[in-house]
């Protein structure tokens, strides 16, 4: 349950962050980009008209009545006045313009020549960093990029404004959908990863829970020994042999050929202990009731007779399938052998 809560929480968090960025930042950038492109696509007459309108309504700058002073002789620069003070407006129509410090210095010189109080550079292009720094040294205001779109947006034709905002909104919706799918995917991956980690931890705890009843035959034997000891007259002091000591003292002739499961398990345990002390053999582990895996360090020709010597002591284990694993660091195949056949 926690994994799905984690997935849902992560998906909601990522989706909220992505939506906030796309609608508050990215949509604004997209609108400015398309808005400047729409301004650059206007004819000069339409562009200059909305610039005059914006200057009149937002800056209180109006055309000079004297026609001789209203134009410097170029179509992109014109003089406006506010309270009897002149302002030089320089409009560079087009997105290809890049203005540096020299262009700003030239505009400052023109301001001095016309006797203007200051100047405003308006362009859909871009003023470089050195140009902005140069403008701060003179009475020059720079309006480009997002500042220009904010200034002229209320005065562009309604259909153009609707088109620009619609493009930005549709792009934001499309990107939000993609971001939502990505957030859901990441959330599901996180939840599945958490479930995988939990499932990997579970098997490690299972042996601890089942370790207590791992050797019921030995426990039963011990209980039987205690019962027998209680029922035995006090004169009998010698206890019965335990399960672990039996393989070392039993006569091979007395071993059961068809033992019950508990006796067979005792025989197999005795074989594993005997092999662990056999030269050239590291361990003998019973994989199934009739399959014994042997780890060795000696040559197969030397260790195999010793393994058979141990197994042939027990009639019920003489036909055991033995898996001789390769020696550590030696490139050799796994060998399957049998000491005896039925």
pLDDT tens for each residue of 139-197: 999 999 889 999 999 999 999 999 999 999 999 999 999 999 988 888 788 878 777 87
Which residue from 204, 161, 143 is spatially nearest to 34, judged by alpha carbons? 161
Per DSSP, the residues of 106-151 read HHHHHHHHHT-SEEEEEESSEE-HHHHHHHTTTTEEEE-HHHHHHH
Is residue 61 situated within a structural domain? yes
Is residue 217 situated within a structural domain? no
pLDDT at 203: 52
pLDDT at 175: 92
Average pLDDT, the chain: 81
Question: What residues make up the domain containing 249?
Answer: 243-338
Is residue 170 situated within a structural domain? no
Is residue 174 situated within a structural domain? no
Total domains in the fold of the chain? 2
Please indicate, yes or no, whether the overall pTM of this predicted structure exceeds 0.85.
no
Residues 156 and 250 reside in one and the same domain: no
pLDDT at 148: 94
As a whole number of angstroms, the distance between CA 213 and CA 255 comes to 26
Q: pLDDT tens for residues 61-106?
A: 999 865 455 444 446 899 999 988 999 999 999 889 999 999 999 9
Whether 39 shows a pLDDT value over 80: the answer reads yes
Whether 244 shows a pLDDT value over 90: the answer reads no
CB 313 within 8 A of CB 339: no
Lowest mean pLDDT among 195-209, 279-293, 308-322: 195-209
Is residue 327 situated within a structural domain? yes
Whether 226 shows a pLDDT value over 60: the answer reads no
Whether 211 shows a pLDDT value over 80: the answer reads no
Is residue 23 situated within a structural domain? yes
**Domain boundary at 120, 145, 164, which?**
164
As given in the structure block, the two tokens for residue 290 are 């009739």
Residues 30 and 148 reside in one and the same domain: yes
């Amino acid at each position: 349950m926690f994994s799905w809560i984690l997935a849902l929480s992560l998906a909601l968090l990522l989706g909220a962050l992505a939506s906030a960025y796309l609608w508050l930042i990215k949509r604004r950038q997209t609108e400015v980009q398309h808005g400047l492109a729409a301004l650059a696509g206007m004819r000069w007459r339409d562009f200059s008209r909305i610039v005059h309108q914006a200057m009149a309504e937002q800056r209180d700058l109006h055309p000079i009545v004297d026609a001789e002073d209203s134009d410097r002789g170029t179509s992109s620069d014109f003089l406006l006045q506010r309270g009897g003070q002149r302002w030089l407006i320089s409009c560079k129509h087009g997105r290809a313009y890049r203005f540096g410090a020299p262009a700003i210095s030239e505009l400052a010189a023109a301001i001095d020549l016309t006797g203007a109080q200051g100047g405003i550079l308006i362009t859909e292009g871009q003023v470089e960093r050195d140009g902005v720094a140069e403008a701060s040294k003179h009475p020059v205001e720079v309006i480009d990029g997002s500042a220009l779109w904010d200034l002229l947006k209320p005065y562009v034709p309604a259909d153009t404004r609707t088109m620009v905002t619609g493009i930005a909104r549709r792009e934001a919706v499309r990107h939000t959908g993609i971001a939502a799918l990505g957030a859901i995917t990441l959330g599901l991956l996180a939840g599945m990863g958490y479930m995988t980690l939990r499932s990997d931890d579970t098997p490690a705890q299972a042996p601890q829970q089942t370790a207590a009843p791992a050797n019921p035959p030995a426990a039963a034997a011990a209980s039987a020994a205690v019962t027998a000891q209680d029922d035995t007259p006090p004169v009998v002091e010698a206890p019965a042999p335990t399960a672990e000591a039996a393989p070392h003292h039993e006569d091979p002739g007395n071993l059961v050929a068809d033992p019950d499961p508990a006796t067979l398990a005792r025989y197999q345990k005795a074989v594993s202990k005997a092999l662990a002390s056999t030269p050239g053999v590291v361990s003998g582990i019973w994989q199934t009731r009739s399959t014994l895996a042997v780890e060795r360090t000696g040559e197969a020709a030397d260790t195999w007779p010793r393994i058979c010597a141990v197994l042939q002591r027990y009639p019920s284990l003489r036909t055991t399938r033995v898996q001789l694993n390769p020696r550590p660091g030696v490139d050799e195949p796994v060998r399957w052998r049998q000491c005896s056949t039925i």
